[in-house]
Amino acid sequence: MEATGTDEVEKLKSKFMSAWHNMKYSWVLKTKTYFSRNSAVFLLGKCYHFKSDEPSELSPDGSCLDIVDKVISGNVEEFRKDFISRIWLTYREDFPQIKESALTTDCGWGCTLRTGQMLLAQGLVLHFLGRAWTWPGALNIENSDSESWTSHTVKKLTASFEASLTGERELKVLSNDHKEALKRDCDDSEMRDEVYHRKIISWFGDSPPASFGLHQLIEYGKKSGKTAGDWYGPAVVAHILRKAVEEARDPELQGITIYVAQDCTVYSLDVVDRQCSSMGSEKADMKAVIILVPVRLGGERTNMNYLEFVKGILSLEYCVGVIGGKPKQSYYFAGFQDDSLIYMDPHYCQSFVDVSIKDFPLESFHCPSPKKMSFKNMDPSCTIGFYCRNMQDFERISEEITKMLKSSSKEKYPLFTFVKGHSRDYDFASSPLHEENDLFSEEEKKRLKRFSTEEFVLL
């Protein structure tokens, strides 16, 4: 009886905390975000312009367009579809209990892990789907709350009917064989994309089996002295993501790896070693690699001299985003306009979704509302990510970014560097290898501990 009473208290406490977190965090999605009509918008290497001769909704000063609530001609719709297609990972509640803790939610502490998940998810999207991929259901996501199931169904039936009429007219022009071939190619491509879309999201599910789910990331974090409920800085998250990818057993994930820069230095031969590592089944092949570079953009405050470099990074298609935020709030930065960064916010508490079931709902994994913040408000601690499909990609990327670093650096030393050779050639510890009884080497543990104490706390 006493146990039952305790369970009831815990349930009430959980409901109260859920209500509090929703009140505390959910309002950010309901606020409008305004974008200038006169400046280009960059989203992970894609450029959009919102200029139009059509009437539009303006901000109080008459200069800005609210792209969240109003779609006009130009590239607004394309931008919205691209942004919403990015995978959004947020606080969740009522998921399976985290091992060795009583936690069934990460509200209030897990947001930097979530931003790390979003960066890795974008890397996997580039790897399996490509940068041009967008989710076909992206522009319908905002209608899910405002429209009834019936009206949505009617629209689908109407579209299906119109498509069938179009198909009948095409019969007069195309042969049956030609039409079927085109339809089959289109269907096969869409089906493949849908399979990978769902598979990528399932790898981030909030349950112990998910390769990059919160439960697994926390297990790897324990090796660096972190536990569930602790705050994780962007550099520590970078190393946790690397271990998670190394330990992933799904055959689909054997063709990708992660390299984390040491002391703001990317060692080219260490990257090549990771790209040329065995892919299992006695098959050696070239792996794609996600390069993560933990950096500081200043001392206690972000140095505005780094603004142009960060903008340059986010304008590259092989950039997979930035794990960062502002003091005490972690965000996933994916683009910019003028001197403002565009981000996805993990501080939104949503219910647990069982991604192991067939056709699980996708809507809560895609953000309908882009947000902006001034670069000067950014916390200096962050981790930058790039995706390289092969060695040729890495060579090209290292050259392009090196030029960018030199042109943007107003000081003697750039933010980070690419150097030839292995890290051990410069008297640093070599990239840690897998150890049977311990996921992190002693040298790596020391480095992670240093990151943990030097970084500003990001909620």
Residues with active-site annotation: 111, 345, 347
DSSP3 helix / strand / coil % (the chain, rounded to 5): 45, 15, 40
Name the strand (E) or helix (H) holding 64: strand 64-66
Strand pairing category for 265-267 and 417-419? parallel
- Using CB atoms within 10 Å of the CB of residue 246, give its burial: 0 to 12 exposed, 13 to 18 middle, 19+ buried: middle
Asked if 444 and 432 count as a contact pair (C-beta separation under 8 A), the reply is yes
Neighbours of 167 (CB within 10 A): 12
Which amino acid type is present at position 98?
A: I
Asked if 335 and 42 count as a contact pair (C-beta separation under 8 A), the reply is yes
Strand pairing category for 41-43 and 288-296? unpaired
CA angle 329-334-336, nearest 5°? 95
φ, ψ dihedrals at 68, nearest 5°: -75, -45
The DSSP annotation for 183-194 comes to HHHHHHHHHHHH
Asked if 419 and 268 count as a contact pair (C-beta separation under 8 A), the reply is yes
Beta bridge partners, 216, equal: none
Contact partners, residue 54, CB within 8 Å, separation at least 6? 72, 73
| List of E strands, 68-154 | 92-93
- Using CB atoms within 10 Å of the CB of residue 151, give its burial: 0 to 12 exposed, 13 to 18 middle, 19+ buried: exposed
Question: Which of 253, 235, 234, 252 shows the shortest CA–CA distance to 244?
Answer: 253
- For the chain, the C-alpha Rg in angstroms (whole number) is 23
